[in-house]
C-alpha cells in the first residue's frame, strides 16, 4: 500500500512540476496579440483573393494594423469595409474609388475573323505556342478561351461571342483576371468613369483595318478632340487618363471606328458608304 501511495505522489508531483514548467514557458514565449489586427481581420470579407497585393486577409490585416497598408486596400470590401477599418484604426478612410475590370477588346466573332479552325486545348495560355499566336487575325485581342473566367471567384466574367465580358455588378476588382490574361487585356478602371477604349492593338492602322472591323487605328482624332488632355495615342493605341477624364464623351463622338465606348456598350460597325 505504501508503494502505491509513493508512486501516486511521484506521478502527481511530476505532473505538477511539468504543468508549472509549461505555464512558465508559455508566458515567456507568448506571442503578443494585436487587438487592432484581430478587429481589422474580423471586418475583412475572407475571400483571400490576393487582390489587395498581400497573401490573404490575415496578411492584409497585419499590414493595416502595422501601418503598412491603407484602410481601403481591400478591393472586395470596398468603401463600406474601408470605413469600418478606418474607425478601428482611428483614421479617415478618405475616398475609396470603386473599380471594375474592363476587357480592352471588342473583336468578337463577327468583327475579328479567324485564319484557321483551332480545336486544341481551350486555354489562352497555350496560344503563344500556336501558329501566328492563335486563330484570330488580330494577335493583340482576346482569344476567348476563358483563362480569366477560370480564376474569377465571383462569376463576374464570361466568354460571349468569342471574347471576355465583365459583369460590372458582380465584379469585385480583385485583379485575378488581370493577372490571368496572357495578353494583358484586362485593366481595373474607375467604376464611375463612363468611357473606355475597347482595343489594345499596337499594330499600324492598315494592319488593324485588315484584322478587325472596330480596332483602334491611331488616327489621333480622340486626342485632338479632348479639351482636358485626357486622351493620348501611345504605341498606336488610344489611352484614357482617368484622373483627367470628365466623361464629356467628345473622344467617343469623334472616333471614326467607334471603339471608345460607354462601359457596357457594344461597338457598332460603321457601314461602308
Task: Read off the CATH number of the domain in which 119 is found.
Answer: 3.30.70.20
Same domain, 129 and 76: no
d(CA 207, CA 81): 47
Which of 194, 190, 196, 192 lies closest to 99, judged by CA? 190
Find the DSSP H helices in the chain: 2-28, 35-43, 57-65, 78-89, 147-151, 176-180, 205-211, 221-225, 250-254
175 shares a domain with 137: yes
Pair (141, 186) in one structural domain: yes
* 40 in the same domain as 106: no
Q: Do 122 and 214 fall into the same domain? A: yes
The cell numbers describing 234, all together, are: 501611345
* Residue 177 belongs to some domain of the structure: yes
Q: Kindly state whether residues 193 and 84 are assigned to the same domain.
A: no
pLDDT of residue 51: 82
Quick one: 80 and 117 in the same domain?
no
Q: Domain of 74: which CATH number?
A: 1.10.15.40
Domain count, the chain: 2
236-244 contacts, C-beta under 8 A, 24 or more apart: 236/201, 236/202, 236/203, 236/204, 236/205, 237/197, 237/199, 237/200, 237/201, 237/202, 238/197, 238/199, 239/197, 240/193, 240/195, 240/196, 240/197, 242/189, 242/190, 242/193
Distance CA 70, CA 183 (A): 30
Inside any domain, residue 127: yes
Last residue of one domain, picked from the residues 25, 54, 89: 89
C-alpha cell of residue 31: 506571442
| Inside any domain, residue 135 | yes
Supply the pLDDT for residue 270. Answer: 60
In a domain, 16, yes or no: no
Q: What is the pLDDT along the chain (273 residues), one digit of tens a residue?
A: 677 777 666 667 777 777 777 776 666 666 566 788 889 899 898 888 888 888 889 999 899 988 898 888 898 888 889 889 989 988 887 777 889 999 999 999 899 988 888 888 888 988 888 888 888 889 999 999 999 999 999 999 999 999 999 999 999 999 999 999 999 999 999 999 999 999 999 999 899 999 999 999 999 999 999 999 999 999 999 999 999 999 999 999 999 999 998 877 766 666 544
Which of 70, 89, 108 is a domain's end point? 89
Q: Note whether residue 221 is domain-resident.
A: yes
- Single pTM value for the model: 0.77
pLDDT of residue 187: 95
In a domain? residue 53? yes
Last residue of a domain, one of 47, 69, 89: 89
Residue 206 belongs to some domain of the structure: yes
Same-domain status, 109 and 181: yes
Instruction: Judge if 149 and 171 occupy the same domain.
Output: yes
E-strand spans in 104-194?
Answer: 157-160, 163-166, 186-190
Residues 176 and 103 in one domain: yes
Let me know whether 130 and 192 are in one domain.
yes
The domain containing residue 48 runs over which residues? Answer: 35-89
Close Cβ partners of 137 (under 8 Å, ≥ 6 residues apart):
112, 113, 114, 115, 210, 211, 212
Q: Are residues 160 and 105 in the same domain?
A: yes
Distance CA 145, CA 162 (A): 8
| Residue 23 domain-assigned (yes or no) | no
Amino acid at each position: 500500500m505504501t508503494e502505491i501511495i509513493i508512486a501516486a505522489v511521484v506521478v502527481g508531483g511530476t505532473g505538477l512540476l511539468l504543468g508549472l514548467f509549461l505555464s512558465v514557458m508559455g508566458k515567456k514565449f507568448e506571442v503578443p496579440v494585436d487587438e487592432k489586427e484581430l478587429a481589422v481581420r474580423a471586418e475583412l470579407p475572407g475571400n483571400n483573393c490576393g487582390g489587395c497585393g498581400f497573401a490573404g486577409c490575415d496578411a492584409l490585416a497585419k499590414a493595416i494594423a502595422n501601418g503598412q497598408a491603407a484602410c481601403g486596400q481591400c478591393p472586395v470590401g470596398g468603401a463600406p469595409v474601408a470605413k469600418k477599418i478606418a474607425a478601428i484604426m482611428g483614421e479617415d478612410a478618405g475616398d475609396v474609388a470603386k473599380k471594375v475590370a474592363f476587357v480592352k477588346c471588342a473583336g468578337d466573332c463577327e468583327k475579328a475573323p479567324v485564319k484557321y479552325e483551332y480545336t486544341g486545348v481551350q486555354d489562352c495560355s497555350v496560344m503563344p505556342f500556336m501558329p501566328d499566336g492563335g486563330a484570330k487575325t488580330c494577335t493583340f485581342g482576346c482569344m476567348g478561351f476563358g483563362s480569366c473566367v477560370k480564376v474569377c471567384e465571383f462569376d463576374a466574367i464570361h466568354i460571349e461571342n468569342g471574347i471576355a465580358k465583365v459583369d460590372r455588378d458582380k465584379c469585385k476588382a480583385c485583379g485575378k483576371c488581370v493577372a490571368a490574361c496572357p495578353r494583358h487585356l484586362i485593366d481595373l478602371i474607375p467604376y464611375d468613369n463612363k468611357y473606355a477604349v475597347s482595343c489594345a492593338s499596337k499594330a499600324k492602322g492598315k494592319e488593324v483595318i485588315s484584322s478587325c472591323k472596330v480596332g483602334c487605328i491611331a488616327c489621333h482624332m480622340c486626342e485632338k478632340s479632348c479639351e482636358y488632355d485626357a486622351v493620348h495615342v501611345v504605341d498606336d493605341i488610344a489611352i484614357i487618363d482617368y484622373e483627367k477624364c470628365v466623361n464629356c464623351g467628345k473622344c467617343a463622338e469623334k472616333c471614326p471606328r467607334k471603339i471608345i465606348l460607354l462601359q457596357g456598350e457594344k461597338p457598332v460597325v460603321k457601314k461602308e458608304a
